[in-house]
Amino acid sequence: MGRLTTHVLDTAKGCPAAGIRIELHRFGNGHDDLVAEAVTNVDGRTEAPMLDGASFKPGEYQLVFHAGDYFDAIGEKLPEPKFLDQVVIRFGISDGQAHYHVPLLLSPFGYSTYRGS
């Protein structure tokens, strides 16, 4: 079966981003359903896949990374409002048997992502 995983790296500090709250939403039939929530561990990863097993289906999804809360928690002094508060990555899953890994490389003023393995 396929699965969806993620991790977050703080590129400004050069380390994993621990303690970031992540939400996973599924879109369909005009609805936005919250299907999973997790918090990154000391390795910047979630303890389990965000989606796997029978719940892992092709479709449109969105990961929401609560970056602003993370920056507050680590004492990053940023102007208000923060340039990045919630980082939203909307993506599609087309293969229900594949592993989709969607990492976030994060700093207070920028981010990037890609489909990893």
State the binding site for substrate.
7, 45, 114
Query: What distance in Å separates the CA atoms of residue 91 and residue 104, rounded to the nearest whole number?
Result: 13
Asked if 82 contacts 110 with a C-beta cutoff of 8 angstroms, the reply is no
Contacts of 110 (CB under 8 A, 6+ apart): 84
Query: What distance in Å separates the CA atoms of residue 10 and residue 42, rounded to the nearest whole number?
Result: 12
Binding site listing = 7, 45, 114
Tokens standing for residue 70? 């993370």
